[in-house]
Amino acid sequence: MSTDMFGIRVLANDGLNLTVRVYVVYDDESLPNPALKSFFFCLLTRNWLSVRPLARIEQEIGDDWWSARVIQHETGDYDGLSKGFAWMAQTAQHFVQDVTLLETRNHPGRPPHTFHYLKEGGWSQEELLPQGVYRVTATDPKWIEHLSPGDAWATAFQQYPRPRHLDQEPEDWKSFVDGIGHHSHQAGNDQQRVDLDAATVERLTGALDHANDYVAWRAAQILGAARNRASSAVPRLAQALGDANPDVQAYAVHALGRIGDAAAAGPLITVLWTHDPSDWRNNTAEAAMALAAIGPDASLATDALRCTGATDDIEMSAAAAFALYRITGDESHLASVEHAFPTNSDMQRMIIGVLLDAPADTTGAMLPLLTSVLEGEHNALYEEAQWEAAEIVGRMGSAARSALTTLHQLHDHYAENGWSTDAFDTAIERIRLG
């Protein structure tokens, strides 16, 4: 007998949209990611054999129907799992048009007990289980016609990442991604921008599907650095949030923030709602920063950010608070940022990265925190943050006159050590000119 992972209850069926409540009934799982359509395709197949003859099913979706049943652990043929994962991911697109997470309860969190099995149409302590309501839009009404409100069942189906299928000529693809820009650092996970034409953006978007991990995450990284904002890549980058490789996930999150397209807000909110409860900071801080980069267009994220920020983790709380400030304009959120910003170099780099891409007239409230970076210790690891902080402060013009003394001191210190002073010279001039 397989261990149940999730409980499912149908709430509504309007003929094309199926609304279901998904319960987390095993304490090593988190809410399903809407981007992973294979999970929801699995739900549609519930009782298909009782209402659709096998011959008809095979005609509709192919002979690999049984791969789906292997995934559901209904046979012992575990050698077929890898084939089944790939087949499920591809086939799901033909049956599931869209999935939207509508609401959550008790999440993030864990079930009150290790296992919860379906009994008499429900689960013990059901009201305490982590749960979410999803709207599943089918591509054809016939795929959901057999499911009715009140139907409830348990499944051992797990969330399996969307596999990447493109595997030809990996060395050529590596040369392609590394050849963009004059050196690999130029299009890296820093704040430099590169010029990409439409054809290059299209090829990089395709590279996100390459089976080679390095090619996939480098493609995401470069798309985020596009000076012309690679908005056409947003749908595929959103899918990459469910990738099996953590680097691909992380660079996809970062790229969506740097692109700044409002269409990315929904997928990024999902990262906040469906992160792994065993790892509170599994890309959630980065997702919060990406939402901060999108700004007011990510207004639907406020509830998720408040929930995510309600933690003792100072960095996560600060990331959520900064995002709320950038989205709402409410400067009271900066009090939480102040706890982490002066001493946390990772937090500084993330926030500075967002501010570098932000309009100068929206950064003024950050002057005290940016000044704290300028006044910090001087070493090789810190100098880039100080250069970038100086650039942001300089763009504030005369409003940043209080930072002039610090900028002059930095100029003198860097000059004495033979380091570049260009960033401080430019900032001083901009402030003086107003």
For residue 222, the Cα-to-chain-centroid distance in whole angstroms is 16
Report the pLDDT value the prediction gives residue 13, as an integer from 0 to 100: 95
Q: Which residue has the tokens 């469906």?
A: 274
- Which of 137, 155, 173 corresponds to the end of one domain? 155
Place 215 in a pLDDT band, splitting at 50, 70 and 90.
confident
Tell me: pLDDT of 120 over 80: no
Task: With cut-offs at 50, 70 and 90, classify the pLDDT of residue 417.
Answer: confident
**pLDDT mean over 325-338:** 91
42 or 298, which is more confident: 298
Identity of the residue numbered 67: S
* Domain end point (choices 155, 175, 190): 155
What pLDDT does residue 173 have? 73
Residue 343 in any domain: the answer is no
Orientation angle between helical segments 314-328 and 302-309, nearest 10 degrees? 160
What is the pLDDT confidence band of residue 113, given thresholds at 50, 70 and 90? Answer: low
Write down the pLDDT at residue 320: 92
In sequence order, the 6+-apart residues with CB closer than 8 A to the CB of 76 are none
**Is 431 a domain residue?**
yes
pLDDT score at 183 = 39
Overall average pLDDT of the 9-21 stretch: 94
**What is the residue-averaged pLDDT of the chain?**
79
Residues 29, 39: Cα–Cα separation, whole Å: 13
- Specify the number of domains making up the chain: 2
10 is a domain residue: yes
**pLDDT (tens digit, 9 = 90+) per residue, 84-110?**
555 666 778 788 998 888 888 886 666
- Asked whether the beta carbons of 352 and 373 are under 8 A apart, the reply is yes
pLDDT exceeds cutoff 50 at 250 = yes
SS (H, E, C) 316-329: HHHHHHHHHHHHHC
Cβ neighbours of residue 44 closer than 8 Å, sequence gap 6 or more: 18, 95, 96, 136, 138, 143, 144, 147
In the listed set 130, 155, 180, which residue is the last one of a domain according to the structure?
155
Q: How far apart are CA 265 and CA 235, in angstroms?
A: 11
Pairing of strands 6-13, 96-105: unpaired
> Is 145 inside a domain boundary?
yes
Confidence at residue 403, expressed as pLDDT on a 0 to 100 scale: 92
Q: From 305, 243, 314, 313, select the one nearest 268 (Cα to Cα).
A: 305
- Rounded to an integer, what distance in angstroms lies between the CA atom of residue 107 and that of residue 258? 28
Q: Given phi > 0 = left and psi -120 to 50 = alpha, else beta, which region is 272? A: alpha
Distance (Å, whole) CA 200 – CA 78: 40
Range of the domain at 64: 6-155
* The predicted structure's pLDDT at residue 291: 94
Q: In the chain, helix, strand, coil percent, each to 5?
A: 55, 10, 35
184 within some domain: no
pLDDT band for 73, please (50, 70, 90 cuts). Answer: very low
Structure confidence at residue 149 as a pLDDT band (50, 70, 90)? very high
431, pLDDT greater than 90: yes
Kindly tell me if the per-residue pLDDT of 79 is higher than 50: no
Whether 166 is covered by a domain: the verdict is no
Residue 57 lies in a domain: yes
155-181 residue pLDDT tens: 877 666 665 666 566 667 777 777 774
Of 98-112, 122-136, 175-189, the one with minimum mean pLDDT is 175-189
**What digits encode the pLDDT tens for the residues 255-295?**
998 898 888 888 888 888 776 544 544 688 889 999 999 99
pTM of the model: 0.69
Taking a C-beta distance cutoff of 8 angstroms, is the pair 4, 115 a contact? Answer: yes
* Inter-residue contact 187 to 216 (CB < 8 Å): no
Judge whether 26 lies within some domain.
yes
201 vs 28 pLDDT, higher one: 201
